[in-house]
Structure 1
Amino acid sequence: MTADATPVFPWGPALLFCPADRPERYAKALDRADAVILDLEDAVDPSRRPAAREALVASDLDPSRVIVRVNPAGTADHDADLSALAATPYRAAMLPKAERPSDLDGLGGYDVIALCESAAGVLAAPALAQAPTVLALMWGAEDLVASLGGTSSRHADGRYRDVDRHARSSVLLAAGAAGAFAIDTVHLDIADLDGLAAEAEDAVAVGFAATACIHPGQVETIRAAYRPSAAEVEAARELLAAARDAGGGVFRHAGRMVDGPVLAHARAVLRRS
Structure 2
Amino acid sequence: MTFVMGPALLFCPADRPERYLKAAERADAVILDLEDAVAPEDKQRARGAILAQLGAKGDVPELEPTRTIVRLNPAGTEEFEKDLHCLAHTPYRTVMLAKTEGAAQVQALEGFSVIALCETAAGIINAPAIAAEPNVVALMWGAEDLLASLGGTSSRNDDGGYRAVALHSRSAVLLAARAYGKEAIDSVYVNIPDLAGLASESRDAVASGFSSKACIHPNQVAVVRDAYAPSESEVVEANELLKAAASAGSGVFQFKGKMVDGPILKHAEATVRRSGARPVSGR
Alignment TM-score, normalising by the size of structure 1? 0.96
Structure 2 unmatched runs, 5+? 54-60, 276-283
The C-alpha deviation readout for 1:182-239, integer Å capped at 9, x for no partner, is 0000000000101100111000001100000100000000000000000110010000
1:50 matches 2:44: yes
Equivalent-residue separation in structure 2 for 1:109 and 1:196 (angstroms): 35
State the identity as a percent.
62
- Do the aligned partners of 2:3 and 2:94 also contact (CA within 8 Å) in 1? no
Contact 1:71–1:81 under 8 Å retained in 2: yes
Which of 5, 15, 28 aligns to 1:21? It is 15
- Matched with 2:131 is 129
Match of 1:5 in 2: none
Q: Report the CA distance between 1:129 and its aligned residue.
A: 0.2
Counterparts of 2:108 and 2:50, CA distance in 1: 18
1:118 matched to 2:112: no
Matched letter for residue 77 of structure 2: T
Q: Hey, what's the Cα distance between the residues in 1 that align with 2:219 and 2:39?
A: 24
TM-aligned CA deviation for residue 272 of structure 1 = 0.5
- CA-to-aligned-CA distance 1:107-159 (integer Å, 9 cap, x gap): 11111100000011000000000011100000000000000000011011100
Task: Tell me the equivalent position of 1:84.
Answer: 86
- 1:64 equivalent to 2:66? Answer yes
Alignment correspondent of 2:281: none
Alpha-carbon distance between aligned partners in 2 of 1:177 and 1:9, rounded to the nearest angstrom = 21
RMSD (CA atoms): 1.0
SS, match of residue 80 in structure 1: helix
The equivalent of 2:98 in structure 1 is 96
CA distance in 2, matches of 1:233, 1:108: 40
Q: Alpha-carbon deviation of 1:172?
A: 0.2
Aligned 1:227-246 pairs, distance under 5 A = 227-246=229-248
Cα pair 1:139 1:168 within 8 Å, conserved: yes
Distance, in Å, in 1 between the alignment partners of 2:257 and 2:273 is 25
CA distance in 1, matches of 2:180, 2:3: 15
Matched, 1:10 2:12: no
Q: Find out whether 1:31 has 2:25 as its counterpart.
A: yes
Q: Structure 2 CA distance, aligned partners of 1:48 and 1:40?
A: 9
2:110 equivalent in structure 1: 108
Match of 1:140 among 126, 142, 148: 142
Secondary structure at 2:74 match in 1: coil
* Secondary structure in structure 1 of the residue aligned to 2:110: coil
Secondary structure of 1:271 counterpart: helix
151, 154, 165: which one aligns with 2:153 = 151
Contact 1:154 1:161 in 2 (8 A): yes
Q: Does 1:40 align with 2:34?
A: yes
Cα displacement (A) at 1:38: 0.1
Rounded Cα–Cα distance in structure 2 between residues aligned with 1:231 and 1:86: 47
After TM superposition, the runs of 4+ consecutive aligned structure 1 residues lying more than 6 A away are none
How many Å separate the matches in 2 of 1:201 and 1:115? Answer: 21
State the distance in 2 between where 1:196 and 1:118 align.
Answer: 23
Q: Is the 8 A contact 1:142 1:152 kept in 2?
A: yes
In structure 1, which of residues 185, 198, 203 is the aligned counterpart of residue 200 of structure 2? 198
Q: Is there any run of 5+ residues in structure 1 with no aligned partner, and where?
A: 1-7
* Structure 1 contact 9–209 (Cα < 8 Å) conserved: no
Amino acid corresponding to residue 68 of structure 2 in structure 1: V
Give the CA deviation at 1:9: 7.8
CA distance in 1, matches of 2:3, 2:268: 18
Number of equivalenced pairs? 266
Name the SS of the counterpart of 2:45 in structure 1.
Answer: helix
C-alpha distance after superposition, 1:2-36 (max 9, x if no partner)? xxxxxx98221000000000001000000111100
Residue aligning to 2:76:
74
Q: Is the 8 A contact 2:138 2:177 kept in 1?
A: yes
CA distance in 1, matches of 2:171, 2:249: 36
Partner of 2:278: none
Work out whether residues 9 and 181 of structure 1, in 8 Å CA contact, stay in contact via their aligned partners in 2.
Answer: no
